[in-house]
Structure 1
Amino acid sequence: MRPLQISPETAVKLAEALQVPLERLMHMPQHILLQKMMELANQEKEANEAANKNQE
């Protein structure tokens, strides 16, 4: 399996956001990475919605 074709900066940011080691991220299958990114986006969306409700 080929490593992901992403920039080093993107890889570091994703590894930090997903809380996985950089080496594991680079060899993660693309479909699993996309699934984890979707989960992260949903969590951020829910957090933003909760913050907006608290401001009202």
Structure 2
Amino acid sequence: MRPLQISPETAVKLAEKLKVPLEQLMHMPQHILLQKMMELAKQEEENKKEE
């Protein structure tokens, strides 16, 4: 499997937000990464509604 085609800066930010090691993020299947990003966006939206 090919590593994700994203910039190093984006990879670092995503790894921090998703709380996964950078190496794991780069070799994560794209569909799983998209799912995790959707979950993160949903959480952030719920947090904004609570404020």
C-alpha distance in structure 1 between counterparts of 2:27 and 2:50, whole Å: 34
C-alpha distance in structure 1 between counterparts of 2:48 and 2:6, whole Å: 27
C-alpha distance in structure 2 between counterparts of 1:23 and 1:3, whole Å: 10
**Structure-to-structure mapping, 1:6-17, within 5 angstroms:** 6-17=6-17
How many residue pairs get aligned? The number is 51
C-alpha distance in structure 1 between counterparts of 2:5 and 2:26, whole Å: 8
CA displacement at 1:39 relative to structure 2: 0.2
What is the letter of the counterpart of residue 23 of structure 1?
A: E
RMSD: 0.2
Please identify runs of 4+ aligned residues in structure 1 that moved more than 3 A. Answer: none
C-alpha distance in structure 2 between counterparts of 1:19 and 1:30, whole Å: 17
Give the structure with higher Rg (CA). Answer: 1
1:2 corresponds to which residue?
A: 2
Tell me the TM-score normalized by structure 2.
0.99
C-alpha distance in structure 2 between counterparts of 1:5 and 1:12, whole Å: 13
